[in-house]
Amino acid sequence: MPRRAITPGTFDPITNGHLDIICRAASMMDEVIVAVAASAGKNPLFTLEERTTLVRQATAHIPNVSVEPFSNLLVEFAQQRQAHVIVKGLRAITDFEYEFQMNALNHQLDYDLETTFIMSPPEFMYLSSSIVRELASLHADFEQFVPACVVQALTAKFAN
C-alpha cells in the first residue's frame, strides 16, 4: 500500500511557505494530496475553484502531488482517499496550540489517522496568506513570498 498523505489548508493564496511544506512532505511520502478546504467561514479572497487552480499550478512540478478541493471533515476526506497521514506545517507556538487541538480531535474521530508536523524554516516562520493578501492590497512588494501564478492572480484582484 502506498504511503499517502493529505496536506490540508485554505491556501488563500498558496505561499512559498506552503510550497516548502508540500515539497518536504512529497519527499517523505509516495503520494501527497493537497486538500484545498472550502473554509467558507474564513471568507476567502479567492473562490475554492481559484485556490485549487493556483495550488495545482504552483505544485505542477512535483510529480507525486495531486490537488483536490474538499468541504467535508478532513478525517472523512482522508478516509475516502485512503490516506493515513496528515502533514501540517508549524510556524510558531500559536500554530502548535491550534494544531494540537485539531490533532486530538482527529485522533478521536479516527485512531488510525496520524498527524505529522513539519517545522517551517526561519525564512518562512513569519509568512502567512493573510500577510501576503495585505501586502498585495496595499500594492506593496509581495512577489518574493509567493509563486508566479499567485503574483498574477493577486495583481489582478487588486488592480485598482
Catalytic residue list:
18, 42, 91, 129
If you write DSSP's letter for every residue of the chain in order, what string do you get? ---EEEEEE--TT--HHHHHHHHHHHHHSSEEEEEEE--GGG--SS-HHHHHHHHHHHHTT-TTEEEEEE-S-HHHHHHHTT--EEEEEE-SHHHHHHHHHHHHHHHHH-TT-EEEEEEPPGGGTT--HHHHHHHHHTT---GGGS-HHHHHHHHHHT--
